[in-house]
Amino acid sequence: MSEPLDPMWVYNETVKMFAIGGEPTFEDEAEQTVTWGRTWGVNNDVGTIRSILMHRPGVEMNIVDPSKRIDAIGSYGDLAEHWYFQSEDPPNIPVMQAQHDGLVAALERRGIEVIYQEGVGDRHLKAVYTRDPAQMIKGGAIVNRMGTRIRRGEELVTTQTLAKLGVPILRTISGSGVMEGGSFAWLNETNCAIGIGVRVNAEGARQVGEVLASQGVTLHVVELTGYDIHIDANFLMIDKDLALVNPMGLPYTFLQTLKELGIHTVEITPLDDGWIVNGLAVAPGELLIPEGASDRTLAALEARGVTWEVVPFDKVHLNGGGIHCSTTPLVRDAV
């Protein structure tokens, strides 16, 4: 007759047998698939997009009251209610929707899964710009804290949408930090940039950098010029080692950083509508851009092997953002 086993010994042996520790890492593809159902996140800004988050302009635009103006900006707005609209004309909602639908159609023609933001409040007139409440990194999302009162509360909507999808939320910006996704860019799989200025502060960038550091990613903090709110007004990765830039809106030190990382640039000119920098790479060297690119810039892109599709977006621009602002890739292929 065998002796009875010591319960503590059984417990210890069981713990040792089933313990798995910290490896593989959270963002490992196999680990993500087993735990979260699929691999979420991105580690670049140019790989083929598989899934993207967007919001079609809707009833929230009705907050724009043509009887209310802010004289200091010469446009519609209400300081007490924290809203503004940057145009001499009220928003043309049907045309905004049609242009947004055109962008969605261009994405879906490429087989990209378009997921719509849910539960947008009736006061969040900037909610079409889904880029800002979060940024995707390896393995999931970082939810931001918006830098302007007009957009506070969009973080909740984004969190709820990501949670419903099953996207891991790796951090929420807290304390005195402010951060918006339009000022975040992947340079390559081990380097990112954040532009700090009136909408993003050093504390917000530091908190993002903590998460990136745990993934072996270096964060480059870029001081934006003047009152620029986001780096994506002047910088767009368009291929693995190629960026479209407005050099007048970026510090020389950042342009030098790009060179050191082996990233070449195509510089826009005064002949270009600046919104073309706020386009979107849907695959390496394949762009969606708005109208307004000069023949000179298009020739420079073509010489680099870049292709593009023009998507009219001027009425959405009037609300303060472009194609890049209006899209948050949730899943991209590695490059």
Interatomic CA distance for residues 128 and 311, integer angstroms: 16
Asked whether residue 220 is assigned to any structural domain, the reply reads yes
Query: Which helix (DSSP H) or strand (DSSP E) does residue 136 occupy?
Result: strand 134-137
Q: Which helix H or strand E contains 242, and what residues bound it?
A: strand 242-245
Q: Which residues span the domain enclosing 175?
A: 21-330
CA 95, distance to chain mean position in Å, is: 24
Beta-bridge partners for 54: 116
pTM above 0.75, yes or no: yes
pLDDT at 14: 78
Let me know if residue 4 belongs to a domain. no
Any domain includes 9:
no
For residue 301 the two structure tokens come to: 């892109």
Q: Strand 235-239's sheet: what is its strand order?
A: 235-239, 242-245, 264-267
HEC letters along 208-230:
HHHHHHHCCCEEEEEECCCCCCC
Please state the separation of Cα 101 from the chain's center in Å: 19
In a domain, 229, yes or no: yes
Residue 1 lies in a domain: no
Quote the pLDDT of residue 80: 86
The predicted pLDDT at position 94 comes to 97
Inform me whether the pLDDT recorded for 8 exceeds 70: yes
More confident residue, 101 or 85: 101
The tens digit of pLDDT for each residue in 19-59 reads 777 889 999 999 999 999 999 999 999 999 999 999 999 99
The per-residue pLDDT for 333 is 98
Domain-located, residue 128: yes
Place of tokens 């992947």: 186
Locus of tokens 């997921």: 115
Number of structural domains (the chain) is 1
pLDDT at 1 (0 to 100):
58
Residue 6 lies in a domain: no
Please report the sign of the dihedral spanned by the C-alpha atoms of residue 271, residue 275, residue 276, residue 277: positive
Mean pLDDT lowest among 64-78, 139-153, 200-214, 276-290? 64-78
pLDDT in tens, 268-296: 999 999 999 999 999 999 999 999 999 99
Residues 321 and 41: their CA atoms lie apart, in Å, by 23
Q: What is the mean pLDDT of the chain?
A: 95
Cβ-based neighbours of 335, under 8 Å, separated by 6 or more: 44, 46, 47, 189, 240, 284
Is residue 232 classed as helix, strand or coil in its secondary structure? helix
Is position 2 within any domain?
A: no
CATH number at residue 236: 3.75.10.10
* Radius of gyration, CA atoms only, the chain: 22
